[in-house]
Each structure stands twice: as structure tokens, then as C-alpha cells.
Amino acid sequence: MKRKMTSPYSSLHDSYVPNKGRSTSCVTLAVVVGCLTVLGILVAIAVLERPPPLQNHDTLPEEAGGSNVSIDQCSMALVESIPQHVKYKGNVTFGIPLEQVWKHLISIATHKVEVASFYWTLTGEDINVNSSSDTPGRDILKELEELPSRNVSVRVVSSVPTVRTNSTDLDVLKQKGVQVREVDFGRLTNGVLHSKFWIIDRKHLFIGSANMDWRALTQVKELGVVVYNCSSLAKDLYKIFQSYWVMGQSNSTVPHPWPAKYDTAINQHHPLLVKEDNVSSSLYLAGSPPSFCPPSRTQDLEAILSTISEAQHYIDVAVMEYFPATRFMKPQKYWPFIDDAIRAAVFERKVRVRMLISCGRDSDPAMLPFLQSLASMDSPHHHINIQIKLYIVPAGNQTNIPYTRVNHNKYMVTDKVAYIGTSNWSGDYFETTAGVGLVISQHAPPPVWKTEALQSQLKAVFNRDWHSEFAVNLSDLGHHADCALSP
């Protein structure tokens, strides 16, 4: 049964520049504070050609066997942050508030916490802003500081800053006994560390769009997933964390190949199988860039492409940025892989596609022609159904806070799969930049599906946003002060 509340909660946005930019429906497990019942519940490429699928998986470790059946509980819940002053009309579905989930994960940690984030700005001073909306960020920072005094080991990996900030978060954490490494992905891959995830006691995990930024809690719309009591998946995510950690040494070089301990038995062709009540799930983690993925790891782009190609009826996408091009490497180049897959789905298989793209004051207007090109395919007479809307978060009186009031989501849901990632959809994120995605496929009897499957909940969240007053048809945009793509 869904638990409904009336006040929405909050969330941030990133690009390659840090600081740039409730009804609560619980998805299975009575472990999340504030939810009486939590209902049970990427291939990157280095060259411009789509690589072939992995063959035979002869690099899988011997213990992989033919399947991965988890004996863990592996309960999942959708997590969201809704910006302050954004109110939805009607009785709609929300994920569990991000602040609540982060605080709960900290509270249940007993021996190890590992966090990967693009950057850290958990207080207003970090970005020269005085706002009471940074209070949740301050609280999170304070609770993380206190973990070492509870004999909980804390390790943090972040990207070497690409822009100077005033942030002292990592220095404060180090003074309290937290181990911190900043990874120079610019030197290693010409990218950044863009992943955002937590691992608690190698048992619980969070993956989503939110950086360690107070704006992600109160000023930006975020989405992620928390997975409890799932050691198999948490230990697999830890392999990705550890690859960042070792590359955070000053003299590091990317190994070719990666040592066997970074290999995985869980991937697109050998997912982790989980049974919880009446919902059966198959899960796997995907990663980027290619140079950080052993052959047994499904790469992030291939996870996205296969999700699109396997859809039979519908594909719903919510991402902050959509560019079938590279954005940051010079010279820029055309990068059509996701775009081609979407066009093939709507044209060849008559799959209905809806795309919800963020538009804020800092969005790049260069995105508009690509979106218009996709939208121009829509032709009901020819059974081609592709619709594109822009999600615009009202800035209101929050314009003094830089790089906020955006929909930072990075997910896709189809009739087959839910995909929740950490990357925007442009070439750099899959060729040079570190990111992760969680792919979930679920089966359940129809009544159970509606209330307990995370896929169903993600679909409900997409529908909520798609039909909200904040979603504007591309063709109806007109001038909008809070959207840089408007004329």
C-alpha cells in the first residue's frame, strides 16, 4: 500500500563544472525512517563505432557459474529530492526523500562507509551563498564527520576539482579521520569522476544523480535508488569504488588489463537474481569509461543501448542533458549512438518514446536543434510516436543560488527494464568520464507489480512529472525566463 504525504521534498545539477551546473511511495522494506512500509522491492566507447557485444564471457571468474542467485534480501526503494517550493497537484507518487535516506544510511553504518562524488559543497559558504536551505547539507556533513568517532572507517573519492571553489568539506573530513582521495581523471582519461554512490558496510548502497552538495537536498530535483541488505551487489559496486581509490594515488596509471580482483561475475548476461516476496528481480551494475571496465563489466553505454533495443512498447527517458555529440573534448564530434537507437526504436519497432529533458537558466541552447530533430519524427499517421518535453523548475526567489533549479534526473524506464544512472547523455560521459548505472528487470503478478515493483514506481514518477505543470511541450515553449532554450 502506498503511503501518501502532501509536502514534497527537495534536490542539484552538474555538468563538467562543479557548482554548475509527498506523497511518498515506498518501494519494500521497513528500514527507511519515516516509511512504515517500504514496498519491495552502462557500452562506453573510445572510438566512434558501436563495439560488438562481449563474446562468451571467457574472462568471467570461475565462480561465476551459470547464474548469480542472491541469498540476500536485496530490498530496493526509489529515492528523490524535490526542490523547495515545487508543489505537485493531486495525489501523486514520490520516492523517499534523499535527505532521509542519506541520514538513515549514516545511522546504520557499523564499520565501513565509502562515498564517490563528483565534488563536495555541503555548506553555503562553499559557494559564497547565505541560505537557510543549506541546513540539510550541514547536517549531513556533521554526521559524516562523527562516523570515525564511532569507529566507522570512512573513505571518500572525488574528482580533482576542475574549477576552484571555497569548499572546505574534504579538509574538515580529513581532520576528523576520514580518508580522502581526489582522482585526476583529466590526466588519466581526459574526463572527470562523475559517479555518485554510497556503500555502507559492503551491504547497503545508494546510486543516483545527487552529488555531495546541499543544493542536491533542497534546490535541485534528483533521483536515485537505495538497496538494502544486498551484499552481492554492494561488493560489486565496491570493486568500482576501489578502482577509483587506487587511481587516486599520485603516480597511478590505468592498468591494461585490470587485475582479476576487479573482475565481476555480475553483468548484463549474468545478472544477480533476487526474489523478495512476490517480486523477482535481476540486477547488474554498468560502468564507464571503457578503460576502467574489465571485459566482464557491462559498460554504461551498452547497458543503455541494450535497454532501448529490447523495449517493445514504450521508452520513457528523463535526463538533464541530451546531446548526440561530445561536449567537452576539442574538437567536438558527432556522437549518434543513443540517438540512432532511439530513432530505430520508434521507426522500426514502433515503440512509443517520451523524453523529459531539463531546462534551466544554465542549460546550453545548443541542445535545442537535436531535440527538435528527434521531435520532428513524430507522425501518428505513420505510427511513429516520439514526444519531447522540457522540465522547467521555477526559479522563484532562489536566483541568488548558482546552478540550481534544474531536473538533474538520469534514468530510463521501459516495459522491460528500469535504468538509473549518474551520467548525462552525451559522448564524453561514456568515453572519458567515470559513471555507473544500475539496471533492474522485475517480474511480479499484476496487483503486486503496481505496488511493490521499483519499475512500476519509477514509471509512476515519470508520469507524475510528464503530466505536471512543470513539463512543457517543445513546440509550446515560447519565452520562459527560467529556461535558456526558450527564444
pLDDT at 3 over 80: no
Residue 224's contacts (CB-CB under 8 Å, 6 or more residues apart) are 78, 79, 80, 98, 196, 206, 207, 208, 209, 210, 420
Other CB atoms within 10 A of residue 375 CB: 16
Which of the following is catalytic: 13, 104, 196, 221? Answer: 196
**Contact predicate 188/159, CB 8 Å:** no
Give the residue with greater pLDDT, 392 vs 55.
Answer: 392
Active site residue 201: yes
pLDDT tens sequence across 414-461: 999 999 999 999 999 999 999 999 999 999 998 899 889 999 999 999
Residue 319 amino acid letter: V
pLDDT tens sequence across 274-308: 988 889 999 999 999 999 999 999 999 999 999 99
User: For 76, phi and psi rounded to 5 degrees?
Assistant: -120, 150
CA distance between the termini of the chain: 44
Give the residue with greater pLDDT, 435 vs 10.
Answer: 435
Active site residue 408: yes
Instruction: Find the radius of gyration of the CA atoms of the chain.
Output: 21
Which of the following is catalytic: 13, 104, 194, 270? Answer: 194
Q: What's the confidence (pLDDT) of residue 14?
A: 53
Distance CA 283, CA 419 (A): 10
**Contact predicate 83/219, CB 8 Å:** yes
pLDDT at 78 over 60: yes
Which of the following is catalytic: 72, 139, 184, 201? Answer: 201
Distance CA 219, CA 241 (A): 27
Query: DSSP character for 93?
Result: -
Average pLDDT of the residues in 176-190:
97
Q: Tell me the pLDDT band of 40, cut-offs 50, 70 and 90.
A: very low
Mean pLDDT for all residues in the chain? 88
Q: Tell me whether strands 272-276 and 410-414 are parallel, antiparallel or unpaired.
A: unpaired
Q: What's the confidence (pLDDT) of residue 429?
A: 98
pLDDT at 239 over 60: yes
Residue 456 grid cell: 512500476
Distance CA 286, CA 269 (A): 12
Q: What's the confidence (pLDDT) of residue 41?
A: 35
Query: DSSP character for 194?
Result: -
Which of 116, 134, 114, 115 is CA-nearest to residue 126? 134
**Contact predicate 277/452, CB 8 Å:** yes
Give the residue with greater pLDDT, 450 vs 208.
Answer: 208
Residue 249 grid cell: 594515488
pLDDT at 50 over 50: no
Residue 254 amino acid letter: V
Domains in the chain, please, with CATH?
75-253+262-473 (3.30.870.10)
pLDDT at 231 over 70: yes
Alpha helices in 219-325 (DSSP H): 231-247, 300-310
User: What is the model's pTM?
Assistant: 0.88
Q: What's the confidence (pLDDT) of residue 486?
A: 85
Tell me the CA distances in angstroms from 213 to 150, 384, 426, 439, one per residue in order: 24, 40, 23, 25
pLDDT at 24 over 60: no
Q: Tell me the pLDDT band of 32, cut-offs 50, 70 and 90.
A: very low
pLDDT at 257 over 90: yes
Which of the following is catalytic: 104, 204, 408, 459? Answer: 408
Active site residue 364: no
Q: Tell me the pLDDT band of 67, cut-offs 50, 70 and 90.
A: low
pLDDT at 10 over 60: no
Which of 281, 309, 273, 311 is CA-nearest to residue 413? 311
